[in-house]
Amino acid sequence: MSTPLLGVLGGMGPLAALDFARKLLALNKVETEQQHIPTLLWNVPQIPDRQLALSRGGPSPLPAMLQGIAVLNAAGATRIAIPCNTAHHWFDELAAASTAPLFHIVDATLAQLGGQQEIVGLLATRGALQSLLYQDRFDALRQRYAVNTEDELDELFMPGCYAIKHGKIVEGGRLLEAAGKRLLARGATKLVLACTEIATGLERINSPQLAASVDTNEALARTCLQYWREQNT
């Protein structure tokens, strides 16, 4: 059996990848630094915008993502995580090109939800919503959910997401919090932060919404740690 080595296809955006790496460390309670999971981080942000590719017909990010997958495989990764929800639209193509199996962020998130039958507020990019990444799975599980309206995406969520990508984290956090409030007002009892920039913004403004949220970056990190522990028992 090969030594476990986690590959991370990051850069989408680079701050989200660093947030994932930080959570991977913070969640792993160790006595020595040697007990942390060996990780290769490909944090290359020159990948075309995933959301624009899906919602506006922009350049496909797939060739650049495949390059990252190839680099991680060549470096010896035994499993690969992708800390970007919208990128999972291309999951099947990426998995087919990888010798190392890929973790799926939606699987990791559903494991954290635990099958609770409450109304989930799904905070996600327009591209991810159009891809039905979460909605199809929620429908199969008969999980009730709410999403932002087109106006809320235009005025709150998408500007908030891009503000964080551009380093305006407080501004972005406030816009994303406002988008979350709209879902909570429509009956949502738990938010799924289905964009890996959201938690960074909410943390910066100390938003109480974090307490009622499933952070997909954290869920992915927990799944990776479970893999690491299983390989070392």
Tens of pLDDT along 159-205?
999 999 999 999 999 999 999 999 999 999 999 999 999 999 999 99
Which of 139, 149, 144, 133 lies closest to 84 in space, CA to CA?
A: 133
Q: Are 164 and 203 a contacting pair, CB within 8 Å?
A: no
- pLDDT tens track for 143-170: 999 999 999 999 999 999 999 999 999 9
- Residue appearing with tokens 């891809």: 131
Give the pLDDT band (50/70/90) at residue 118. confident
122 vs 211, more confident: 122
Q: What is the mean pLDDT of residues 29-33?
A: 88
The mean pLDDT value of the chain amounts to 95
Which of 144, 148, 84 lies closest to 115 in space, CA to CA?
A: 144
Domains and CATH numbers, the chain: 6-105+218-231 (3.40.50.1860), 106-215 (3.40.50.1860)
Give the pLDDT band (50/70/90) at residue 212. confident
Count how many Cα atoms sit within 13 Å of the Cα of residue 94 in the half-sphere of its side chain.
27
- pTM listed for this prediction: 0.95
Give the N- to C-terminal CA distance of the chain in Å, as an integer: 13
The structure tokens listed for 198 are 């959201």
State whether residue 150 is helix, strand or coil.
helix
219: left (phi over 0), alpha (psi -120 to 50) or beta: alpha
Q: What is the mean pLDDT of residues 29-54?
A: 93
E strand or H helix at 105: helix 105-113
In the predicted structure, residue 2 carries a pLDDT above the cut 90: no
Residues in the chain: 233
Beginning with the edge strand found earlier in the chain, give each strand of the sheet holding 145-147 in spatial order. 145-147, 120-123, 190-193, 213-215
In the predicted structure, residue 1 carries a pLDDT above the cut 70: no
- pLDDT on residue 176: 98
Query: What string of DSSP letters covers 198-214?
Result: HHHHHHHTT-GGGGGEE
Q: Are 209 and 185 a contacting pair, CB within 8 Å?
A: no
Which of 140, 149, 143, 153 lies closest to 195 in space, CA to CA?
A: 153
Q: Are 97 and 141 a contacting pair, CB within 8 Å?
A: no
- pLDDT tens track for 78-106: 999 999 999 999 999 999 999 999 999 99
E strands within the chain? 6-9, 39-42, 79-81, 120-123, 145-147, 190-193, 213-215
Q: What is the mean pLDDT of residues 106-115?
A: 90
